Amino acid sequence: MNKEFKFNQSFQIESGRELESLTIAYSDYNETNAQKVIWVCHALSGNSEVMEWWSGLFGEGKMFDPSEYRIICANVIGSCYGSSSPKDFERPVDFPILTIKDIVKAHALLADELGLEKIDVLIGASLGGQQALEWSILQPNRFDKLILIATNAFHSPYARAFNEVQRLALQADSTYGQKGGGYSGLKAARAIAMLSYRSYEDFSLKQSESENRSDDFKAASYVRYQGEKFVSRFDPHSYFILTKAMDSHDILRNRNGNYDEVLKTISATTLVIGIDSDFLFPLSEQRLLADSIPKATLGIIESPFGHDSFLIDYEKLDKLISDFLKRDAELLNQHNNLNTNYKIEQQK
């Protein structure tokens, strides 16, 4: 499943700098027999192995079964899972700052290489949703259906501030900038990030104390553990680059018109999914998308888990997406009367 695409030409990015060449690591499941194609855009720390990190939706017998779909997921450039990244540089900090549009243009090169003039479903959550949105604007005729989960038209000042705090933690590590360095800073950065990925209710449910402690609290242990686990699989300099890319996200940059006008250029039939406890990507951001994309439906997942609900509440996500793909508007609207812990707020 793991493959590699080499683009042996210079690749110009939005900043004006160039990468001499590109490597894109990707997975391509059932490339010969499937009737439909789905392209998955992964989130910040994801990789191309979508069957592993999104196993609630992808796999045999799941919503997106490789017996029915050709499933493609490409590791974003700047990441540390096989695509061009800071690890390729003697001084990792010399790797150029990327934007979401740069990442999407690299995806488009791979799609061209694979001969995919038309993609049936484009899906992404969080930073993955930012990629999917940008791509659907850059190449609106390429996609039939678009699924945007816990994402936005521009990265908010609040979310950018959260990312900057994480980068400050990275740079406070004296070894950051050196090849093989920065891991203590990455541990702290990831611990900070967990506060934005979950919610007050989630921490109250899972990290409350059963006895009256004065120290060594579960919540503290949890974020330390998340930081320690993360440094075993991710690269500090990639983390810096990808948080910067996320901050760059704004579909108005170098385009004419306002958000409503730019979003109206999307031609794909679209499902926008928001999470009621997500304060990093609040529902107002998904409502903006659904209000302006011409053929859009807004579905809301009610969950205590915050932004990470798209990786946890599979049953709710599965049902929303399944009904959307069936294109049964009556069934979608019935969910307001069912005990499903999600609802359809808007149907166009």
| The pLDDT value given to residue 206 | 80
d(CA 205, CA 184): 29
- Tens digit of each residue's pLDDT (9 = 90 or more) over 194-231: 999 998 888 888 888 777 877 888 899 999 999 999 99
The answer to whether residues 266 and 324 belong to one domain is yes
Task: Respond yes or no: is residue 126 known to be catalytic.
Answer: yes
Query: Are 235 and 85 in contact, with CB atoms under 8 Å apart?
Result: yes
Share of the chain above pLDDT 90, in %: 85
Q: Which domain holds residue 112?
A: 2-156+251-347
| 3-37 per-position pLDDT tens digit | 999 999 999 999 999 999 999 999 999 877 778 99
Residues 19 and 138 in one domain: yes
Listed residues 223, 247, 271: the one ending a domain: 247
For 132-161, the DSSP string reads HHHHHHHSGGGEEEEEEES--SB--HHHHH
User: Which candidate in 48, 83, 126, 136 is catalytic?
Assistant: 126
* List 28, 173, 235, 278, catalytic entry: 278
Domain boundary among 247, 272, 296: 247
Q: Are residues 239 and 255 in the same domain?
A: no
Say yes or no: 196 and 332 in one domain.
no
Q: 33 and 146 share a domain?
A: yes
Question: 138 and 50 in one domain?
Answer: yes
Confidence of residue 283 (pLDDT cuts 50, 70, 90): very high
Q: Answer whether 0.75 is exceeded by the pTM.
A: yes
- In the numeric block, the tokens 């939005």 are attached to 14
Please report, for the domain that includes residue 209, its CATH number: 1.10.1740.110
Q: 344 by DSSP, 3-state: which?
A: strand
Q: For residue 307, indicate whether it is catalytic.
A: yes
Q: What is the CATH number of the domain that holds 322?
A: 3.40.50.1820
Q: Does 262 share its domain with 150?
A: yes
The reply to whether 107 belongs to the active site is: no
Domain boundary residue, one of 204, 227, 247: 247
